[in-house]
Amino acid sequence: MIKSSTARIITKSKEFFIKYKSLLTSCHLEVYPGSTFSDLDSKITNVPVDLYVVDNQAGNFPYEKFIKNLNSDHTRKFLINVGLEPPETIKIPLPMIQVNPGTDQIPITLFIENADKLIKREKAQLELSTMLLHDVRSPLNSLIGYLELLINGTFGSLNEGHKNIIEKAIDMGDNALDLLEDLHDVFREEQETLILQQQTFNFNKVLEAVLAIVWVKADNKNIQIRKDISKDFPEIYGDDFQIQRLLTNIITNAIKYSPKNSRIIIKAKQEDAKFIKVSVIDTGQGVSEEDLHHLFDKFFRVRQKNKFKKGYGLGLYICKIIITAHDGKIWAENNELGGLTVHFTVPYKK
């Protein structure tokens, strides 16, 4: 069953609320609990809402606060501004419909109906895609399992040629599973349903588990990975599995783009009273300023002349999804002496 579109009316006026509630009969209505705009914080705006209706008839709607706390994923969201137009200095990140009370410039009822249909259709497509991804993973896992039985000699010995072919088939299957996992998280994020299993955990132990996974790739290029983290580093509050995926993506990326015989440094320190900051520093070529602003975009891949790098441009985008779910930040910058540093922050307290 496709979920209804969710709408939120933000106003101080009871009459305004009643009027627009009558126009939103096809939507699930999230009632704004405050009587003033002063409590317009992230608890109000950073929730899965498809359609916002805001009362700006007096021209005092706090758009800066609204936009600051708005959920970073604006897919499928719409904004209906009733009253005075927002100041030109404020950039509205959502598709906006301007409604002037007392005029018939905008057939608002028709707009709401069409917007609701569009939102439902996109949600249906996302749900179908998520189900298909889930259904494909099971037979692929089984296929890899059968191949591993063959290479382990369960059904008889194999020559080196057979083993080589099966090993490549297993590698391709594992890569396909990784891609499906990334795509699944992308679709879950589009539906705003990326749920974390949060608890306190030891960051050093999670990092050690990641290094045990990536050391072979680093060793093949004779890349040294050095940690600059104290043993008594504070525990992190978050999803240790997702943080492990995050670190694996970032460090693997650093290895991929670093030259042979180079070095990668991982630093972590307490940023403030709530967050810790982790930095992964490589000594590669860095990226252009143009690419630097798009590193965490979906399907973006760094362009390098005469070089082809495998991948789908989802690794760092998945990192952004994970960090955003933890209420942290992630960014990258070129190093003065060459190479790239990826920083992220995560809370170390509940």
Higher pLDDT, 253 or 278: 278
Which whole number is the average pLDDT over 15-28? 77
pLDDT bucket at 311, cuts 50 / 70 / 90: very low
> Would you call 53 exposed, middle or buried from its count of C-beta atoms within 10 A (0-12, 13-18, 19+)?
buried
Average pLDDT estimate for 111-133:
63
What CATH number labels 199-347? 3.30.565.10
- According to DSSP, residue 119 is labeled H
Cα-atom radius of gyration of the chain, to the nearest Å?
Answer: 25
Q: How many CB atoms lie within 10 A of CB 202?
A: 13
- Average pLDDT score over residue span 296-319: 63
Phi-psi region of 243 (alpha: psi -120 to 50; beta: other; left: phi over 0): alpha
* Burial class of residue 43 (count of CB atoms within 10 Å of its CB; 0-12, 13-18, 19+): exposed
pLDDT tens digits for range 39-78: 554 444 445 677 888 889 988 888 888 887 765 544 457 7
Distance CA 161, CA 171 (A): 16
* Chain-centre distance for alpha carbon 255: 22
CB distance 9 to 17 below 8 Å = yes
Look at residue 308 in the predicted model and tell me its pLDDT.
Answer: 42
Displacement of CA 256 from its chain's centroid (Å): 22
Give the tens place of pLDDT for each residue, 125-176. 666 565 566 566 667 777 777 788 888 887 788 888 888 888 888 877 777 7
Contacts of residue 339, Cβ cutoff 8 Å, sequence gap at least 6? 258, 281, 282, 283, 284, 285, 286
Backbone angles phi, psi at 22, to 5 degrees: -70, -20
HSE-CB for 343 with a 13 A CA cutoff: 14
Give the max Cα distance, the chain: 83
pLDDT digits (tens, 9 = 90+) for 86-98: 888 888 877 788 8
Whether pTM exceeds 0.75? no
Boundaries of every domain in the chain: 6-106, 126-190, 199-347
Q: Is 30 left (phi over 0), alpha (psi -120 to 50) or beta?
A: beta
Percent of the chain with pLDDT over 70: 69
What token pair was written down for 28? 């699930």
**3-state SS assignment for residue 334:** strand
**d(Cα 350, Cα 341) in Å, to the nearest integer?**
27
Interatomic CA distance for residues 11 and 33, integer angstroms: 10
Q: How far is CA 54 from the centre of its chain?
A: 27
